[in-house]
Structure 1
Amino acid sequence: MRRDVTSKIVLDVTGQADLVFAVAVSSHYAPSTEEFTASIDGRRIDPSVVDDAHGTRLHRLSASPGRLEVRYRATVDEGEVATATETDLLVYTRPSRYAESDRLLPTAVAEFAGITDPVDLLAAVSSWVGTELAYVPGSSLPTDGAVRTLLDRRGVCRDYAHLCVALLRALNVPARLAAVYAPGLHPMDFHAVAEAWVDGAWRVVDATTLAPRQTLVRIATGRDAADTAFLTIVSGFANLVEMEVTATAESLPLDDITRLVQLA
């Protein structure tokens, strides 16, 4: 399936800044077209490309004060299926900054302890999180984790994904977060989903059900949002002025949360 993705990020850089962008499709794909450009007050600057874990490709920029504009576009078809090492499966069973699985163990056991089939468990967790939370743009803080999300009973895609990841880890199912382009998503933005290791493969869990899982395009993968943010300000100062994301696919298939879906 062919998918076309673009992003545009405009920042007001107020002091010399070291900036890292995670907007490129992961190395699981071989784009037929791809371009990353950056300019500060119209003057082009070149990034360094950093290979991160699980195929994540980062673009790092040293930006002087001014108006920074970053643009990315790519066209991809199907990619290579993601795999896992024994170390990966250990890491993704542990609690992390935004997925506090240790604190959510009592909730996970109370709600899902009787479900022994892993396929049924993924559907149950996705359905439960989607029912318990209300999707409210702007309702959460960048520092909110799964516990705060559950207490507030609302959030956005990263909050849904964090809660799914934490509950699955609490039940000894390796789980992680993936940042993606999501054809069909409305309103369009960068999207976040959970992935769980079931039956020897990473399976996508998206409790928001806002876009077909079959159309998603992987950008970054990690323990939680700390590893997958579209922008990391390593040093310096920069304010987001504008962001625009597009993602289209040849078709938007119907999605059924009881089906196992893999992301490249």
Structure 2
Amino acid sequence: MQRVVTAQLDLDLGASVDLIFQISAAQQVPVVSESLTFTQGDRVYTPTEIVDQSGSRLHRLTGEPGRVEVRYEATVEGQMSTSRTSDLEAITYLRPSRYCQSDEVFSQARRQFKGLHGQDLIHAVSEFVATSTTYTPGLSHGTDSAVTTLMTGQGVCRDYAHVVIALLRAMDMPARYTACFAPGLRPMDFHAVAEAYFDGTWYVIDGTRLANRRSLVRIATGRDASDCAFLSYHGGYVGLKRLKVDAWVVPEEAAFEGLETLPEAADPALDDFVELVQLA
């Protein structure tokens, strides 16, 4: 399966600012071609690339006052390579984190999912979050946590992922946050899902059910959204003037020529959310 992913950001800098981006496909993603540029008028910035322990690629530069344009495009082909999860990494994803307070939801999780393990637990948590939370763009805040979302019953993809992660960790199943490109997503944006660690493998849980899990392209992985922000900065004002994200599955000509429907792997309606799926 071939996918094309793009991101465009226009930033207004009020001073010299330390900028850190996480918008590129992760290191283990099978990228066929890729372009990432940072420009300011005639000036082209060359960022420093930093790869973290999970394969997330961070690009860091010092931007000067004015308008900075960021452009990213990549073509991805085939399955992502998998790496072994260490015992230390699994332990890290069992612990409470800033937005996934598994200790605070411990009692609720133990009552609600008592006796469930493995695939049954993953399915029950996914189903609970999908049916108890309403997708409401613009009403949640960047500081909202899993506890906040459980109380309000509303949020966006990051909020759904945080609730899934907190509940799974409370049930002693390692869980992590993944930022990704999501072909077929509406409204199109950077997307967030959770991953559950079961029987030596990470499986994707998308509580929003707005994207087909088979087509996702990993960007960053971490404990929660604080580890996976597409932009962080230090030292001055940064205004995000424009953000445009797109992702699509390249259709096979023989199968889809002349059709106006989404390729199967990009259609959220064709994802069986009971099935265990790894990030492709």
- Structure 1 residues 28-57: Cα deviation after superposition (integer angstroms, max 9, x where no partner): 123111010001234221111111221101
Report the counterpart of residue 103 of structure 1 in structure 2: 104
Query: Partner residue of 2:46?
Result: 46
Gaps of 5+ in 2: 251-262
Q: Which residue of 2 aligns with 1:174?
A: 174
Kindly state the Cα deviation for residue 235 of structure 1 after the two structures are TM-superposed: 2.6
Match in the other structure for 1:137: 137
What is the distance in 2 between the residues matched to 1:58 and 1:84?
Answer: 21
TM-score, structure 1 length as denominator? 0.97
Q: Does 1:255 align with 2:256?
A: no
Quick one: which amino acid aligns to residue 231 of structure 1?
A: L
Kept in 1: contact 2:30–2:81 (CA 8 A)? no
The percentage of counterpart residues that share the same residue type is 47
In 1, are the aligned partners of 2:5 and 2:247 still within 8 Å (CA)? yes
Give 1:22-171 correspondences, 5 Å limit.
22-77=22-77, 78-116=79-117, 118-171=118-171
Q: Is the 8 A contact 1:82 1:263 kept in 2?
A: no
Do the aligned residues in 2 keep the contact of 1:53 with 1:221 (CA within 8 Å)?
Answer: no
Aligned partner of 2:254 in structure 1 is: none
1: CA distance between counterparts of 2:42 and 2:149? 40
**4+ runs of 1 displaced by more than 4 Å?**
none
Instruction: Give the aligned residue type for 1:160.
Output: Y
> Which residue of structure 2 lines up, in the alignment, with residue 185 of structure 1?
185
RMSD between aligned residues: 1.1
State the alpha-carbon separation in 2 of the partners of residues 40 and 236 from structure 1. 17
* In 2, Cα distance between equivalents of 1:98 and 1:158: 10
Cα deviation code 1:195-252 (max 9, x no counterpart): 0101210000111000000000000000000100100113322011100001001333
| Letter of the structure 2 residue corresponding to residue 58 of structure 1 | L
Number of matched residues?
A: 263
Q: Secondary structure at the match of 1:53?
A: coil
CA distance in 2, matches of 1:204, 1:30: 18
Which region of structure 1 is more displaced relative to structure 2, 68-77 or 247-256? Answer: 247-256
Matched, 1:221 2:221: yes
Aligned residues of 1:7 and 1:244 also touching (Cα < 8 A): yes
Q: TM-score, normalised by structure 2?
A: 0.92
- Which secondary structure does the structure 2 equivalent of 1:178 belong to? strand
CA distance 1:139–1:42, change in 2 (3 Å)? farther
Partner SS, residue 54 of structure 1:
coil
